[in-house]
């Protein structure tokens, strides 16, 4: 349980911040704390372990501060402190402020992985190809936003979970790229999802699974059968028409010959 402390100054109390937590997903990092301010305001100071303090979110009435832009190196260790000051006396008097330290934060190890997205997929016969979208993060390098792959390189892996739509038995495959190519049964529809994974981490290794997507191979097979049956019926109809026309011509020719053979008899 967090300890709630205050410094009493006249009729106002300065409350010490507590429950300080880092909320970070794909390097979008926000510092949160309690309690809501009443007669006080908050400021945030952040630094690397051996760097200078830099003040962020100066004298605010909120209980969160976005410090994403201060994360210049994802492998550095960052420290932060929340300063609580008397709202009525903001002269920087040490007796009129308190601060509480946040736990250390290393973006490369501590940011949570966001839910991955499937960019494309194709089921062709006995092969299923799935491509995972290269997620963009909030971390900038030389002014350019970086993807997860650009930050983690081969340390970022993905797991593909896939199963027949008519079954619940799951199979899985792993890759250190963004693409999968797995063997499936021809004519069967498959469902699948993906999950990001950082093997080198001790905690926060896995992302949430992506949304489940299913193929519609049965519909494709049905369409193929439809066209095949349609083509066969078309050929049969053509043959029937050709045969009918041929029989009609033969019958007409035979009748004509019969009339010629019988015409001398009719003239006697």
Could you read off the pLDDT of 138-194 as tens digits, one per residue? Answer: 999 999 999 999 999 999 999 999 999 988 889 999 999 999 999 999 989 999 999
CATH number at residue 89: 2.60.40.10
Domain with 99 in it:
6-110
As given in the structure block, the two tokens for residue 212 are: 């489940």
Could you read off the pLDDT of 52-70 as tens digits, one per residue? Answer: 999 999 999 999 999 999 9
Provide the mean pLDDT of the chain.
86
**Closest residue by Cα to residue 124 from 201, 181, 179, 45:** 181
160 and 97 in one domain?
A: no
86 versus 1: the higher-pLDDT residue is 86
Which has the minimum average pLDDT: 23-32, 160-169, 251-260?
Answer: 251-260
Q: Is 46 exposed, middle or buried (0-12, 13-18, 19+ CB in 10 A)?
A: buried
Phi-psi region of 174 (alpha: psi -120 to 50; beta: other; left: phi over 0): beta
Domain-located, residue 76: yes
The answer on pLDDT for 221 being more than 80 is no
Tokens 């499937």 -> residue: 118
CA Rg, the chain, in Å? 37
Confidence label for 233 from pLDDT (cuts 50, 70 and 90):
confident
User: Can you give the pTM of this predicted structure?
Assistant: 0.73
Strand ranges of the sheet holding 28-34, from the earlier edge strand across to the other edge: 18-25, 28-34, 64-66
176 and 153 in one domain?
A: yes
131 and 206 in one domain?
A: yes
Give the integer Cα–Cα distance in Å for 15 and 34.
10
Beta bridge partners of residue 10, listed in sequence order: none
């Amino acid at each position: 349980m967090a300890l709630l402390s205050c410094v009493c100054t006249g009729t106002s109390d300065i409350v010490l911040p507590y429950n300080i937590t880092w909320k970070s997903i794909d390097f979008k990092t926000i510092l949160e704390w309690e309690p809501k301010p009443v007669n006080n305001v908050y400021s945030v100071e952040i630094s690397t372990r051996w760097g200078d303090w830099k003040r962020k979110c100066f004298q605010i009435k909120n209980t969160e501060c976005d410090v994403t832009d201060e994360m210049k190196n994802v492998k550095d260790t960052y420290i932060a402190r929340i300063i609580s000051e008397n709202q009525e006396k903001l002269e920087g008097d040490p007796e009129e402020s308190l601060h509480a330290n946040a736990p250390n934060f290393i973006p490369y190890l501590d940011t949570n992985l966001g839910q991955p997205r499937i960019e494309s997929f194709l089921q062709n016969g006995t092969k299923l190809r799935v491509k995972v979208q290269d997620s963009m993060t909030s971390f900038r390098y030389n002014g350019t936003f970086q993807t997860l792959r650009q930050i983690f390189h081969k340390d970022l892996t993905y797991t593909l979970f896939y199963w027949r739509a008519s079954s619940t038995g799951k199979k899985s495959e792993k890759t250190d790229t963004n693409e999968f190519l797995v063997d499936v049964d021809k004519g069967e529809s498959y469902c699948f999802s993906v999950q990001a994974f950082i093997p080198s981490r001790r905690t926060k290794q896995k992302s949430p699974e992506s949304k489940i997507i299913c193929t519609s191979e049965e519909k494709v097979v049905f369409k193929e059968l439809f066209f095949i049956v349609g083509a066969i019926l078309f050929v049969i109809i053509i043959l029937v028409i050709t045969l009918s026309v041929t029989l009609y011509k033969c019958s007409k020719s035979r009748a004509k010959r019969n009339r010629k053979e019988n015409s001398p008899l009719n003239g006697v």
